[in-house]
Amino acid sequence: MNFKTFYSLFYRHRFKKASLIRKFYLSIILPFKYSYNYFFLEKKMNLNSFAIKNPFLFDKDLNFLFEYFNSDKGEKYINQYTQPSKKNKIKIQAHGYSKFYQDIFYPIKNEKLNIIEIGSFYGNASAALFFYFKNSKIYGADINPDMFRYKSDRVKSFYVNSSSLSSIKNEIINKNIKFDIIIEDASHMLKDQIISLFYLFPILNKGGYFIVEELDFPETREDMRTSNDISDLKTILINIMKKKDFVSPYIDEKSKKYFLDNIESIKIFRGNMNEVALLKKK
């Protein structure tokens, strides 16, 4: 994690709210805070070498792997959103999505797939998927790729800004890679969820799965939406399930038609805290 990312994650919101005197104080102490936390950063793990020493992980279920690598997709995890120096060993409730994923992933776990998680953060879920899908390539995309903690010949991390359609096109779509599983776990902003689904859906292989985590954030959190007059993704998906029309300023007619012509099923589940949408392509 570089200094810019450290500031963005832990101090940018403080600067926005701080007085001039407080901003001056934070500017002085921030380099020292970063230097101190640097010693608590976990070293990058080579998953190929780790797998040789821990082959038992290839036989574990998805929830075990999510919890083992501390992904919040499992039932329990250690809070990974605090500063590294403040991290403790107390496990708290996580999203609990693994039970839904296990049902759809188990029949295809031994296939050769391309899997991408948008919003990979430390890459903990990517590490879990590396062991669960032992023949697949795992891609982790994030606005802060310097945070990614893992490396392997089957794992690749790179930059993408999911708030920008041009970034999505340049960093993902134009790479000409077709994916079998796309997991959207990035900003959870209303606009970002919509453009990610409708513009990435064409690069999902037939029979593939598109997953949107924290689907209900724009509905339940004011900071995740810009206007109450614009339908969020959950509302759009429910309309599609009810065979009702929908409009959105973030979707062009070509992308809308492609999605409607190629969607096989839409299922919405509630995890321990938030909702997740599991979509299957025809």
pLDDT tens-digit series, residues 213-248: 999 999 888 888 877 778 999 999 999 999 999 999
pTM of the complete model: 0.94
SS3 25: helix
Q: Is the dihedral of CA 248, 251, 252, 254 positive or negative?
A: negative
178 has a pLDDT exceeding 90? yes
Q: pLDDT (tens digit, 9 = 90+) per residue, 244-260?
A: 999 999 999 999 999 99
Pairing state between β 179-184 and 114-118: parallel
DSSP, collapsed to helix, strand or coil, labels residue 216 as coil
Compute the mean pLDDT over every residue in the chain, rounded to the nearest whole number. Answer: 94
**Domain range list for the chain:** 3-38, 45-281
CATH architecture of 45-281: 3-Layer(aba) Sandwich (3.40)
Q: How confident is the model at residue 18 (pLDDT cuts 50, 70, 90)?
A: confident
Q: What is the pLDDT of residues 72-124, one digit of tens each?
A: 999 999 998 899 998 888 999 999 999 999 999 999 999 999 999 999 999 99
Question: Residue 125 corresponds to which tokens in the numbers above?
Answer: 């879920």
